[in-house]
Amino acid sequence: MNASTKPVPRPGVMEIAAYVPGKEHAGGVTRVFKLSSNETPLGPSQRAIEAFQTAAARLQLYPDGQARVLRDAIAEVHGLNPANILCGNGSGELLSLLANIYLGPGDEAVITEHGFLLYRIQILAAGGTPVTVPETDRRVDVDAILGAITERTKIVFLTNPGNPTGTYVPYAEIARLQEALPPHVILVLDAAYAEYVRRNDYEAGIALVSANRNVVMTRTFAKVYGLAALRIGWIYGPSEIIDAMNRVRGPFNINTPALLAGAAAMRDQAYVAKAVEHNQIWLTRVSDALTALGLEVTPSVTNFILIHFPDRDGKRASDADAFLTQRGFVLRAVASYGFPNALRMTIGSEDANTGVIDALTEFMERT
């Protein structure tokens, strides 16, 4: 008989540090630019908004539990078989399903030094053991990952491009990693920022998934599609893995407004191209401007940059964070990702971007 006087979580749960999202507010200012969560400054497409509004007349009905309208739109745009697509309540739900299905006590999952914090949470929540490997120059090191593989390894979680670094792993390196993994180890390619990448040697993961039985790719509507509030994600994977996930997911895990808006957004690729063009222009301008101030900016292929500050009194990241917040610019502190003296900045609107440049110019010129 259990002698405990209260409910007790199973071992490992209380080791989890809860995920803390980027802050949203700055007190004492009339206008706030939230640049802490990598949201698009352009918002969603008008087609997505109109589709969302049509759902208002159907709120008494359960959503389509198979997400057919959304899976069909994704399959059409990406040239995929809809049977190999599963949609979820954000890519976070899908990553959590993978962890809970394929990990248990004694199992290991490999994550990288500066990888998405949610992976560690989900591994521990499933009862597994996270194994963290170092990155090299803020880039994923494939050899470090391979060196950590043991008979207990079941999953490798890899964000590509990385967050908060903004760096990426070329396709050839990802293919080399997959080829060297034991066939029972799942390679999870989290491609949340894939739409922003403009590099000839990058591939989000579709080709590897199509050719192998142990690779999956996750994507999100929260970034370039501007639908973060609706929590829509999708995964492309082998039939066996999709089947296992379908058996344990919630029966109505995406609501009808999200299904309709997501499908409309996916088909509006002209709007996506507009968002990517805005990002490309300002990613270069902001990076160049901040570098000219003497700040180090990690080269990024995403919609955010990692800004490194001098390690001296009055000029550290914490000082810059306070200075910017007082002026209404909210960036993301990334000490929890292993960067205690850096801030991550989302590429925002023209006003937001020029405002941060001006504010950091003033900050760096202070004595």
CB under 8 Å to 6, separation ≥6 — which residues? none
User: Is domain 21-43+270-365 given the CATH code 3.90.1150.10 in the classification?
Assistant: yes
**Residue-level pLDDT at 11:** 77
Distance from C-alpha of 27 to C-alpha of 47, rounded to nearest angstrom: 35
**Residue-level pLDDT at 4:** 74
Q: Where are the domains of the chain?
A: 21-43+270-365, 46-267
**Residue-level pLDDT at 27:** 60
Decide whether 21-43+270-365 matches 46-267 in CATH topology: no
The strand pair at 108-112 and 153-159 is best described as parallel
Distance from C-alpha of 207 to C-alpha of 234, rounded to nearest angstrom: 16
**Residue-level pLDDT at 10:** 77
Q: Which residue has tokens 């990406």?
A: 78
**Residue-level pLDDT at 367:** 62
Record: fold of 46-267: Aspartate Aminotransferase; domain 2 (3.40.640)
CB under 8 Å to 56, separation ≥6 — which residues? 257
Question: Chunked in runs of 10, what are the mean pLDDT values of the chain (367 residues)?
Answer: 74 76 66 96 98 96 97 98 98 97 97 96 96 97 98 98 98 98 98 98 97 98 98 98 97 97 98 98 98 98 98 95 97 96 98 98 90
